[in-house]
């Protein structure tokens, strides 16, 4: 395929920033499709029309041929329709799949109809292509929610010659979530006659694994960092998929996520009180002061502030913080601000920590994008001691905001943060290796010691701010891989 030729890409996903977001998946699907669009590729995006989507600034258009549609899933018939959402400025065409019965609730995930929500998304994506006579070169699927598209193209829709040259790509953002259901959903999937395409061992144990099905059938598997691409071949990180991935090792490619610097740029960020660049770090200090006031913390000049913005889950290393933070806060002058929600045990821990260290620990329980920006801008350190981290975005946001990441060397954290060496002045953060309390304790103490060495600290901060993880480079790797796949 000629180097400059343009591709037809269909991207189906459960999340898309800013319409529907619970984590990094939303940022990546949006930034990647913007990149494809900006490069002149014909990209169409389909996401569910969740009741929670904020329509402000969007113009909703009826699309001929995509109204009054029905889909039979098992013994239920769903009425659905698809509209186009346009916003001002550049960007790809976003299509919203409306089916109030499935997407009318408050939640994006969970609930008894969860599998139906994403079976419908996957099949409606394929049928939308048919309705619009759009034969994609690439069907780009993301995580378990749309991981059934590859098997559908090979079974239910294999009769349609329109897809004969279509290649399917499944991007694994996090294999900790696989979409595992009882085998009774086979009927709902419409694959009762194609059970042979599914993993037989799973079926014999009365289960169906959506992500595994995608891993078996997609033409290309990508994941979101080179290190994670290697890690998931091992049982420790493979979450049961390691042998399936190892069998396809030639088709597993790690491409580090990029950052949308239009949204995450301290020089122009409208969500922070004081914009700043690496030449105006006094403005960063003002953000710190404002953030500490907002969070009810006592501002003391030269007291380092560590930020955390995360889903409070097993993956994120919160148990290490439980082991380390109470003693560290008792022993050293440090303040901590935490934004997140998730498992109750972790929420309770941060509530307790806040009450134990009033004025030095602030916890905001919930999801708050504005506060996430202000924490990036106002903190000195950013903690990500993850057990595993496919890519992670916050450490890359932190680098740009002059906030030193303290990370465990796993997945994309290992690929985007280099441990600082005061001797050579090289490096952008503090990196520890073993997943244990000693590792995190050492890393935090190292970071706090560096904080009191102003020359070293400034050097590390400016090294980080100079890093460029924009989508320009990463997006090109996707296109190159897509073209190689089409030519194969
Ligand atoms: P993951 O996708 O595993 O949650 P990432 O670091 O890749 O982790 O991406 C997380 C994204 O979600 C970032 O954009 C981060 O700012 C955002 N985020 C996570 N938790 C919250 C929260 N409680 N409030 C606001 N934004 C959050």
Rounded distance between C-alpha atoms, residue 344 and residue 347, angstroms: 5
The number of the ligand 1 atom at minimal distance from the alpha carbon of 366 is: 23
Instruction: Map out the domains of the chain with their CATH numbers.
Output: 8-258+471-487 (3.40.50.2000), 282-465 (3.40.50.2000)
The CB density around residue 159, as the number of other CB atoms within 10 Å, is: 8
Tell me the C-alpha to C-alpha distance, in Å, between residue 184 and each of 120, 155, 458: 17, 19, 59
CA-closest candidate to residue 52, choices 19, 23, 27: 19
* Separation of alpha carbons 479 and 235, rounded Å: 30
The dihedral formed by the CA atoms of 17, 20, 21 and 25, expressed in degrees to the nearest 10: -70
Contact at 8 Å (CB) between 14 and 147? no
Ligand 1 centre and the CA of 148: distance in Å? 25
DSSP, residue by residue, 127-167: HHHHHTT---SEEEEETGGGTTHHHHHHTTTTT-GGGTT-E
What sign has the CA pseudo-torsion 194, 198, 203, 206? negative
User: What is the pLDDT at residue 227?
Assistant: 98
DSSP state of 196: G
Bridge-based pairing of strands 167-172 and 220-223 is parallel
What pLDDT, on a 0 to 100 scale, did the predictor assign at position 437?
98
Nearest to residue 408, comparing CAs of 438, 376, 372, 448? 438
Pull the structure tokens for residue 435: 């997943």
Contact between 364 and 309 under an 8 Å Cβ cutoff? The reply is no
pLDDT in tens, the chain (488 residues): 777 899 999 999 999 999 999 888 999 999 999 999 999 999 999 999 999 999 988 999 999 999 999 999 999 999 999 999 998 888 998 999 999 999 998 889 988 999 999 999 999 999 999 999 999 999 999 999 999 999 999 999 999 999 999 999 999 999 999 999 999 999 999 999 999 999 999 999 999 999 999 999 999 999 999 999 999 999 999 999 999 999 999 999 999 999 989 899 999 999 999 999 999 899 999 999 999 999 999 999 999 999 999 999 999 999 999 999 999 999 999 999 999 999 999 999 999 999 999 999 999 999 999 999 999 999 999 999 999 999 999 999 999 999 999 999 999 999 999 999 999 999 999 999 999 999 999 999 999 999 999 999 999 999 999 999 999 999 999 999 999 999 99
**Looking up tokens 């030193």, which residue turns up?**
404
Q: Two tokens at 225?
A: 């960092």
Backbone angles phi, psi at 140, to 5 degrees: -100, 115
Residue 334 to residues 260, 352, 398, 438, Cα–Cα distance (Å): 31, 17, 18, 18
pLDDT at 433: 98
Contact status, residue 375 vs residue 339, Cβ threshold 8 Å: yes
Task: Return the best residue to mutate from 362, 393, 397 for the ligand 1 pocket (most ligand atoms within 8 A of CB).
Answer: 393
8-state DSSP, 39? T
Residues having CB closer than 6 A to ligand 1 are 23-25, 27, 174, 309-311, 339-341, 367-369, 372, 391-394
Contact 169, 142 (CB under 8 A): no
Question: How is residue 5 annotated by DSSP?
Answer: P
What Å distances lie between residue 368 and 58, 187, 216, 381, CA to CA?
A: 21, 39, 37, 19
Half-sphere exposure of 220 (CA within 13 A, CB side): 24
The two tokens of residue 219 are 């033409």
Q: How far does residue 4's CA lie from ligand 1's centre (Å)?
A: 35
Which residues partner with 46 through β-bridges?
12, 95
Half-sphere exposure of 64 (CA within 13 A, CB side): 1
Which residue is listed with tokens 């997943």?
435
State in Å: Cα 311 to ligand 1 middle. 6
Pairing, β 180-182 against β 207-209: antiparallel
Listed residue (153, 156, 199, 200) closest to 178, CA to CA:
199
**Verdict on whether the full-model pTM lies above 0.85:** yes
CB 428 within 8 A of CB 395: no
Calculate ∠ Cα 77-81-83, nearest 5°: 165
Residue count (the chain): 488
Residue owning the nearest CA to atom 24 of ligand 1: 367
Q: Which atom of ligand 1 is nearest to the CA of 393?
A: 6
Q: Are 142 and 171 in contact (CB under 8 A)?
A: yes
Ligand 1: which residue has its CA nearest to atom 20?
310
Determine the distance separating the centroid of ligand 1 and the alpha carbon of 485, expressed in angstroms: 31
């Amino acid at each position: 395929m000629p180097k400059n030729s343009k591709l037809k890409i269909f991207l189906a996903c459960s999340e898309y920033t800013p319409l529907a977001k619970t984590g990094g998946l939303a940022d990546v699907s949006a930034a990647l499709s913007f990149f494809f669009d900006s490069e002149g590729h014909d990209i169409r995006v389909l996401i569910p029309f969740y009741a929670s989507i904020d329509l402000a600034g969007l113009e909703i258009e009826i699309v001929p041929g995509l109204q009054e549609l029905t889909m039979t899933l098992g013994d239920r018939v769903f009425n659905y329709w698809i509209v186009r959402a346009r916003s001002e400025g550049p960007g790809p065409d976003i299509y919203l799949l409306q089916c109030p019965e499935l997407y009318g609730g408050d939640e994006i995930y969970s609930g008894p109809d969860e599998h139906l929500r994403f079976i419908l998304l996957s099949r409606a994506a394929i049928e939308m292509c048919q309705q619009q006579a759009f034969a994609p070169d690439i069907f780009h699927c993301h995580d378990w929610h749309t991981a059934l598209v590859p098997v559908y193209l090979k079974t239910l829709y294999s009769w349609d010659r329109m897809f004969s040259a279509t290649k399917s790509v499944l991007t694994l953002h996090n294999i900790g979530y696989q979409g595992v259901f009882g085998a009774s959903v086979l009927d709902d999937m419409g694959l009762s006659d194609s059970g042979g395409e599914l993993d037989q061992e799973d079926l014999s144990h009365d289960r169906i694994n959506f992500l595994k099905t995608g891993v078996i059938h997609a033409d290309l598997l990508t994941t979101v960092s080179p290190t994670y691409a290697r890690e998931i071949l091992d049982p420790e990180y493979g979450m049961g998929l390691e042998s399936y991935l190892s069998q396809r090792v030639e088709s597993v490619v790690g491409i580090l996520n990029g950052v949308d610097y239009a949204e995450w740029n301290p020089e122009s960020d409208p969500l922070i009180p004081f914009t700043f660049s690496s030449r105006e770090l006094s403005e960063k200090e003002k953000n710190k002061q404002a953030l500490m006031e907002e969070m009810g913390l006592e501002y003391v000049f030269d007291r380092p502030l560590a930020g955390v913005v995360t889903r409070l889950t097993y993956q994120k290393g919160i148990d290490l913080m439980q082991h380390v933070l109470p003693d560290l806060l008792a022993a050293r002058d440090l303040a901590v601000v935490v934004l997140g929600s998730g498992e109750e045990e972790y929420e309770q821990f941060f509530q307790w920590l806040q009450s134990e260290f009033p004025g030095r620990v602030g916890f905001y329980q919930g999801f708050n994008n504005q506060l996430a920006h202000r924490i990036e801008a106002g903190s000195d350190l950013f903690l990500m001691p993850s057990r595993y981290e496919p890519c992670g975005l916050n450490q890359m946001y932190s680098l740009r905001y002059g906030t030193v990441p303290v990370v465990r060397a796993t997945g994309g954290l290992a690929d985007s943060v280099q441990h600082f060496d005061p001797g050579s002045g090289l490096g952008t953060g503090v990196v520890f290796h073993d997943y244990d309390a000693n590792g995190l304790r050492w890393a935090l103490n190292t970071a706090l010691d560096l904080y009191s060495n102003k020359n070293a600290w400034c050097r590390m901060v400016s090294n980080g701010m100079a890093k460029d993880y924009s989508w320009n480079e990463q997006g090109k790797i996707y296109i190159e891989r897509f073209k190689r796949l089409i030519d194969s």
